[in-house]
Amino acid sequence: MSRNNAGLTEDRIITEALRIIDGQGLRRLTMRRLGDALEVEAMAIYHHFPLGKEQLFDAIVAYVSDVARWAPNGDGDADTDADGVADEAEQAAPEPDPRPWDERLRTWAADYRRALLTHAQALPLFIHRRPETEAALRSLEVLYGAFTEAGLEGAEVVRAAAALDSYVTGSVVREVRANGLPVQRPAVLDGRFPHVTALREVQPDAEAVFTAGLEALLHALTASARTV
């Protein structure tokens, strides 16, 4: 094998970066270590991501945000990489999902949650990055379409989608935090915290907590449409 043309691609770089992040943590992802894992000099990565590590982080967020990729039977090959232009002028809407709106929302929420949980170590990257990829638009279309079908209109739809997105994201953050070890010296539970003390042993299953809140939220968000 010659010294150049090592077969480096954006996808290989992103995938390998995620492997390092998942296995060793975000802080251990360095350009040099990533280069080692790809069996290439670190500087070769800059040929594919000329703007450096920030651009790589952006690409990682966009990659993980592609909810379809993480669905149980996701196609994964969706045209969502940097050159995410439709191959043909296929501007027509794809086959619409025949399931009822609430089921589509549950599926979207479960897939998005799975995507974030799978790469929980990469979560800090999501805070200040908002990919506007086609995959992101597909997600938004699912939400807006479902809530519209549920009977909401205009700003109601946007608010409901925002609430659902907030809930899923926040649930993952809460789960990840709950699984981590407490930081700093834990304070003592004394008489000032009677309810916390009383419920100290109650630790419901994370999945059940997520589902219960999701059902409550979905029901509440679409209540206005039902009472009209």
Contacts of 192 (CB under 8 A, 6+ apart): none
In the list 7, 204, 226, 228, the residue contacting a second copy (rule: CB under 8 A) is 204
Position 117 contacts a second copy (CB under 8 A): no
According to CB under 7 A, which residues from 52 to 71 bind DNA?
52-54
CB of 36 to DNA, least distance (A): 9
Q: Which C-beta is closer to DNA: that of 54 or that of 215?
A: 54
The site string for DNA over 12-51 (x = CB under 7 A, - otherwise) reads -----------------xxxxx-x----xxxxx-xxx---
Residue ranges in 20-59 that form contacts with a second copy under rule CB under 8 A: 58-59
Residue 60 and residue 71: Cα distance in Å, rounded?
Answer: 18
- The residues, any chain, with a CB within 8 Å of residue 144's CB and separated by 6 or more, are 157, 158, 161
33 interface partner picked from DNA, a second copy, none, CB below 5 to 8 A per type: DNA
Q: Minimum distance from CB of 48 to DNA (Å)?
A: 6
Backbone angles phi, psi at 121, to 5 degrees: -65, -20
CA–CA dist 84, 92 (Å, integer): 16
| Cβ distance to a second copy smaller for residue 32 or 219 | 219
- Give the pair of three-digit tokens for residue 223: 């209540």
Cβ proximity of 147 and 139 under 8 Å: no
Residue 226 sits in the site that holds a second copy (CB under 8 A): no
Q: Is residue 136 a contact point for a second copy (CB under 8 A)? A: yes
CA distance 24 to 168: 25
- What is the distance between the alpha carbons of residues 40 and 174, in angstroms, rounded to a whole number? 38
Site for a second copy in 67-106 (CB under 8 A): 82, 84, 90-94
C-beta of 155: minimal distance to a second copy in Å?
A: 5
Minimum CB–partner distance for residue 166 and a second copy (Å) = 4
DSSP 8-state secondary structure symbol assigned to residue 222: T
Pick from 90, 106, 104, 113: which is nearest to 145 by CA? Answer: 104
